[in-house]
Amino acid sequence: MYRVIALAGAALVLAACSSNSDIFKNPDWFKTDAFRMEPVLETVRFESEPPGAEATTSIGKSCRTPCALALPGSKPFDVTFTLAGFQSDVEKVEVFAIGDGSTKLRPNPVLAELTPLPPPKKMKKRRRHVTRKHKAVAKRAAKPMAPKPAAKPAAPPPMAPPPQQAPSPWPAPPPPRQ
């Protein structure tokens, strides 16, 4: 009985030595990722209307729609869709359990309908308070400087009305003939 056990052990040792396994090439194999459980990745599609939006997940991965990303299906996350000229949209991706104990992400595909941004409001022109000084400066700036006309001579003072004479007793002479 001891011989059978010894032969089986020797066969296992010889089989292990002849294999190309990394376990025997790297003595620190147990310190590496050999026993780490990787999360199960699930492919999730992202689509938007209009296409070409940047889909950024809260996990840190992003792509331009329409696209697909392999994401861990273990926890929920948010997806933000952004496109120039459109309002950004945030969609939630939830984890739901299936009857056999596994989980799925939903919705899959993740759809976003982006709405255009409203046109910018026209700014009303502000009326500024204009003083006399501002008006004078604006007039001078608007008109080219021209030489001032020469001063007109002063108007003569108004004449006093002639004194009134007493009526003459003689008839008025006839006007001269021409």
Q: Where are the domains of the chain?
A: 41-113
Average pLDDT over residues 95-111: 84
Evaluate if pTM is beyond 0.95.
no
Please determine, for residue 64, whether its predicted confidence score (pLDDT) is greater than 90.
yes
Where residue 26 falls among pLDDT bands split at 50, 70, 90?
low
- Reported as a single tens digit per residue, the pLDDT across 109-154 is 899 999 998 887 777 776 666 566 666 666 666 666 666 777 777 7
Please determine, for residue 101, whether its predicted confidence score (pLDDT) is greater than 60.
yes
Provide the pLDDT for residue 143.
64
| Residue with the two structure tokens 């997806």 | 79
Rounded Cα–Cα distance for residues 145 and 148 (Å) = 9
Q: How many CB atoms lie within 10 A of CB 48?
A: 25
Please determine, for residue 35, whether its predicted confidence score (pLDDT) is greater than 80.
no
Strands 54-57 and 77-82: antiparallel
Low-confidence winner among 13-22, 41-50, 137-146 (lowest mean pLDDT): 13-22
Rounded Cα–Cα distance for residues 86 and 72 (Å) = 29
Provide the pLDDT for residue 102.
77
Backbone angles phi, psi at 3, to 5 degrees: -65, -40
CATH value of 41-113 in 2.170.130, 3.60.90, 3.30.70, 2.60.40:
2.60.40
